[in-house]
Amino acid sequence: MSRLHDLHDAGQSVWFDFIRRDMIGSGELAQLVTDGIRGVTSNPSIFQNAIDTSDQYDEQIRSLLAANAEATVDEIFEELAVADIQGAADILRPVYDAADGDDGFVSLEVSPLLAADTAGTIEAAKRLWRKVDRPNLMVKVPATPEGIPAIEELIATGININVTLLFALSAYEDAAHAYVRGLARASDPTSISSVASFFVSRVDSNADGVLDKIGSPEALELRGKVAVANAKLAYRTYQAIFEGPAFAAELARGARPQRCLWASTSTKNPAYSDVLYVDTLIGPNTVNTLPPATVDAFIDHGTIDGAALGSDAGGAAALLQAFRAVGGDIDTVTDELLDEGVRKFADAYVDMLDTLRRKIEIITG
């Protein structure tokens, strides 16, 4: 039994923030599941790395081009990604079944270029859901103003959604209520699952920059603390919504709460612990998605306190108030992070397509 199993006993599932085709066929992913990994997340940068650094996609690319010489690079990427997601979902299916649909998910992102397009997001998510054709798929949709109504509609149609790019408490509330509204419209909510991916380390990166510019002793004392406080308040909001009367009617219909998922949990500042955003965010009915290096670090020297996340919410609120008092503005930080996140995800998607385009040119001569 690894420390990941102990973490699950404390109420938190660990999802692996990485995927590559050879992990699926070699048994590596199956071993990770045995070791306690209970889900997988993907993004364009992960796929770019996998396509660029190996030849394991070449055979399928040749086959796709032979079947349709006019296939666009976007269409080819989607076929490559769907194949990987299907393989990973099949490996995680026993986890999904044993958890009665509460865990064992693999996430696939709609094109980040659709972040400001509600109708396009809905159409793309439905297409991916049909093509992957696995009950333990989660489609990733960003929590932009245009993404929120898409999330409600997709939940209502029975599609599992990973709400991503959450930084602000207000945006998290919007996403949670969209999920509840979608469930209320669903004919059978019992098979629908969702997570709200609340980004962590990037908040500290931006907030620390603000604090460094302010430069006062009071400001510098707050470095490395804003992100965890922000996440703790998000979890308090989760408890208010999903453990309170707002969700009672859907709970009675067999619906599941939308779990908080902690994303961007690798430590960016080497002065901080490399498991800072794991040790401090352990709590019941949550998920933490970790890149490989953070998984290894936590297994080696992470500590488990099942009450870490739910403790001292008052202190978290006081810390954000202190951030404002020294001249910081958490709303400005989170607004900038959302804009930056949408842009970076879109840039990563375009870079991935460029990498795939070069790969196709090499394969076709």
Q: Cα separation of 156 and 93, whole Å?
A: 23
143 DSSP assignment = -
103 close to 288: Cβ distance less than 8 angstroms: no
Q: Which residues pair with 197 in a beta bridge?
A: 261
Q: Cα separation of 210 and 201, whole Å?
A: 14
Closest CA to 238 of 320, 154, 288, 179: 179
Q: Which residues contact 356 (CB under 8 A, 6 or more apart)?
A: 48, 51, 73, 76, 77, 80
- What length does the chain have? 365
80 close to 60: Cβ distance less than 8 angstroms: yes
Set 140, 225, 232, 359: catalytic member: 140
Closest CA to 150 of 191, 110, 201, 113: 110
140 assigned to active site = yes
Cα distances (angstroms) measured from residue 51 to each of 43, 67, 127, 198: 13, 20, 23, 28
In DSSP notation, 74-132 reads HHHHHHHHHHHHHHHHHHHHHHHHHTTTSS-EEEEEPPGGGTT-HHHHHHHHHHHHHHH
210 close to 190: Cβ distance less than 8 angstroms: no
Residues involved in catalysis: 140
